[in-house]
Amino acid sequence: MALRVVLGALGGLVGLVAVLGAWQVLAARDSQRSQILGGELTAARLASKTVASAVQSRLQLLDNLANQPGSTSLVTPAPTLDQIVVELLRLYPQFSSISLLDAAGNVLAAAPAWPSTQGVSGSRRASFAGVLRNRRSYVTGAFEAPTGGLAVTLGAPVRDSSGTIAGVVQASVPVASLSAAVGGSNLRGGGALVIVDQDGHAITGPAAKSMVSYSRASVVALALGGKSGTATAAVPGFKGGRLAAYAPVGSIGWAVVVENPVSVLDGPVAALTERLVGIGAAVLVFAIAAAIALWTLLRQLAQQRDEVDAIFSSVGEGVATLSADGRVLRTNPALDQLTGRSGATSWSEAFVLLDESGEPVSWERSVAAEAIRRGHVVASHGFALSLQDAEGRKVPVALTASALFVDSATPSGAVVVFRDVSREHEVDQLKSSLVSTVSHELRTPLTLIQGFCELLLTRTNLDPVQSHEALTQIHASSQRLGRLIDDLLSVSRMESGRLSAEVETIDMAQIVSEVVSSFAVDHDHHFSTELAPSMVLADRDKVVQVLTNLVSNAVKYSPTGSEVQVTVSVAGDDARVDVIDHGIGMSAEESASVFEKFSRSNRPEVRKVGGTGLGLYITKNLVELQGGQLWMQSEPGRGSTFTFTLPLAQPGSTPAVASLQTAGDQ
């Protein structure tokens, strides 16, 4: 969005520069053009004056020659006439030839000598006719001189004393000598100065190579008509056409044209345009560079914002940001899930936070407000707080609030992390329950040991039966304490990965038989066994411990006299042992947690039996340590079946004693 605004602004800037530049160019172009056109016209006029005076001076000379006293005698045939003409030509090098004609147009004398066979040339005839027609001196159009190059013929009448034209003096002048007079004209690059005769032939300049009509006929017509001015004409081969400034040449009937490419008009303007284009390009490049830099910056900012957003959204704990006055600015999905609400802006609407006594915690009492007041991190203690979700469920939470400083020394708000501490709360309760259980389990045997000892020490009158009973109780109680300590140590070892099994090939059927027999000695249950021969790879002591625990449970949780059945069978690569009782059984709920540490049913018939809730947890760990599995099936009132497997020893192999170790818990 911001990117578009910036790019638009830069585009606008570039556009403005372009419009201003174009306006400048057009204004400059108009003034430059009128200056150029004026200059061209002045050049044409100057050139025309130069040409006119060059021609006029020669014509004047010829006129003087024709009209000096006695010149009439020149047009009278005489043997010395040729000599005179040659002498004149030597005296006047401006002329390339001089000739004398009589009133009838016959050549009387000519220098250089004129071949008689050629008669009178075209230019001489034109000159002669022009003089007679105008009755004064006359300049012909250009012609190709026999000696090469272009020339014009000047003619002046020779009059007798009565003023009648008695003959004509003619002289040829090379056009080059005329154009040399204007050759110094300073023309712009690509320009040309063209002298056009009355016949419309270009007699100087690049167009005068051959006797062709000068192509700028319309311009020439105007100039030959006595007008001067400027015009542009489209000319093939010249891109954009030619600019012509034209002026007539005095009374001779010629014209001068100064020709230039039309582009001269744009010369200075083009330079200006180039400069402006340069500036424009620089501005454009700068704008593009700025836009790219800005775009990159905005992208980086967007990327950073996206990253922060993603982190905020992905954090597994609930996170909320709050303003200094307790408005809820933002909550992350984890928190919304915890509260079952989203979008609420006030503390009390967003969070139904209850303290230990069930009272809602107001914003003022919250750790967030305290964090803002104190300017640092404040955390809630223990399991004092619970968060009630939209459906009324309460979840114990721990809050950590940090004061938020944005460009200021005073907190602008707070970030609060809501941590669901259900699991910790559960563990905490489990710990309390464990302490309570263990202390009860410790206190009972301790009570008996202390009590019977006291009786033995203080009552001297105890009979032997009583003494024996007292000692038996003390003995049993100390054993009970010992087992409790063993269990606790086993769990500790399992969880730290220090429990190991010394695996060897052992006879499962034999071990089952031994353990069951030991129970049969002092229990009134009916024991039965079905023993399939099977050799397993296991730790003998641990297998005994597993069996003892399972059979002991079967006995404890089933009525005296009922049947406890233990079977050994082979299933695939495993030996399978089932311990079946017909006792109180377990509900599905109890079954689910039966292998968990410190799990104890609250049922009286289970409570009656006593225990730490560690036995099955330890048993399961022992079986798994040896590569087996332990599971159970049960039905309340019908009894339970605990089943475990252990890997069979491969027949024929006598494995060395191997050592297995627990991986460690958590």
Residues in contact with other proteins by the rule CB under 8 A: 436, 439-440, 443-448, 450-452, 454-455, 458, 462, 466, 469-470, 473, 476-477, 604-605, 607-608, 610
Between 6 and 462, whose beta carbon lies closer to other proteins? 462
560 phi, psi to nearest 5 deg: -55, 135
Q: Which of 564, 625, 574, 621 is nearest to 596 (CA)?
A: 621
Coil, strand, or helix at residue 481? helix
Between 103 and 484, whose beta carbon lies closer to other proteins? 484
Between 275 and 443, whose beta carbon lies closer to other proteins? 443
HSE-up (13 A, CA, CB side) for residue 401? 24
Coil, strand, or helix at residue 593? coil
Q: Which of 311, 279, 296 is nearest to 22 (CA)?
A: 279
Q: Is there a contact between 317 and 422 (Cβ–Cβ < 8 Å)?
A: no
Closest approach, Cβ 628 to other proteins, in A, equals 33
Contact partners, residue 273, CB within 8 Å, separation at least 6: 21, 25
Sequence length of the chain is: 666
At 337, list the tokens.
Answer: 């899930």
Closest approach, Cβ 522 to other proteins, in A, equals 14
Between 102 and 428, whose beta carbon lies closer to other proteins? 428
Q: What residue type is assigned to position 322 of the chain?
A: L
Closest approach, Cβ 604 to other proteins, in A, equals 4
Closest approach, Cβ 461 to other proteins, in A, equals 10
Between 477 and 619, whose beta carbon lies closer to other proteins? 477
Closest approach, Cβ 462 to other proteins, in A, equals 8
Number of Cβ atoms within 10 Å of the Cβ of 452: 20
Closest approach, Cβ 482 to other proteins, in A, equals 15
Between 266 and 441, whose beta carbon lies closer to other proteins? 441
| Eight-state DSSP code of residue 327 | B
Between 305 and 431, whose beta carbon lies closer to other proteins? 431
Closest approach, Cβ 447 to other proteins, in A, equals 4
Q: Which of 566, 567, 565, 601 is nearest to 584 (CA)?
A: 601
Between 570 and 609, whose beta carbon lies closer to other proteins? 609
Closest approach, Cβ 603 to other proteins, in A, equals 9
Q: Which of 577, 572, 579 is nearest to 508 (CA)?
A: 577
Between 336 and 469, whose beta carbon lies closer to other proteins? 469
407-430 CB burial, b ≥16 within 10 A, e <16: eeeebebbbbbbbbbeeebeeeeb
Q: Is there a contact between 583 and 554 (Cβ–Cβ < 8 Å)?
A: yes
Closest approach, Cβ 608 to other proteins, in A, equals 3
Q: Which of 379, 359, 370 is nearest to 322 (CA)?
A: 370
Q: Is there a contact between 98 and 171 (Cβ–Cβ < 8 Å)?
A: yes
State the Cα–Cα distance between residues 19 and 23, nearest whole angstrom.
Answer: 6
Closest approach, Cβ 501 to other proteins, in A, equals 35
State the Cα–Cα distance between residues 324 and 201, nearest whole angstrom.
Answer: 99
Between 300 and 479, whose beta carbon lies closer to other proteins? 479
Between 96 and 477, whose beta carbon lies closer to other proteins? 477
Between 303 and 472, whose beta carbon lies closer to other proteins? 472
Closest approach, Cβ 431 to other proteins, in A, equals 15
Q: Which of 245, 259, 249, 193 is nearest to 225 (CA)?
A: 249
Between 436 and 517, whose beta carbon lies closer to other proteins? 436
State the Cα–Cα distance between residues 247 and 409, nearest whole angstrom.
Answer: 87
Closest approach, Cβ 391 to other proteins, in A, equals 31
Q: Is there a contact between 295 and 287 (Cβ–Cβ < 8 Å)?
A: no
Between 281 and 435, whose beta carbon lies closer to other proteins? 435
Number of Cβ atoms within 10 Å of the Cβ of 478: 14
Between 348 and 466, whose beta carbon lies closer to other proteins? 466
Closest approach, Cβ 451 to other proteins, in A, equals 4
The sheet with strand 500-507 has its strands ordered as 535-538, 500-507, 658-661
HSE-up (13 A, CA, CB side) for residue 141? 16
State the Cα–Cα distance between residues 240 and 129, nearest whole angstrom.
Answer: 43
Q: DSSP labels for 331-343?
A: E-HHHHHHHT--S
CA distances from 415 to 56, 302, 378, 461 (A): 107, 22, 11, 75
Closest approach, Cβ 619 to other proteins, in A, equals 23
Between 302 and 471, whose beta carbon lies closer to other proteins? 471
State the Cα–Cα distance between residues 646 and 119, nearest whole angstrom.
Answer: 147
Q: DSSP labels for 397-458?
A: EEEEEEEE-SSSSS--EEEEEEEE-HHHHHHHHHHHHHHHHHHHHHHHHHHHHHHHHHHHHH
Closest approach, Cβ 460 to other proteins, in A, equals 13
Q: How many distinct helices (H) and strands (E) make up the chain?
A: 16, 25
Closest approach, Cβ 428 to other proteins, in A, equals 16
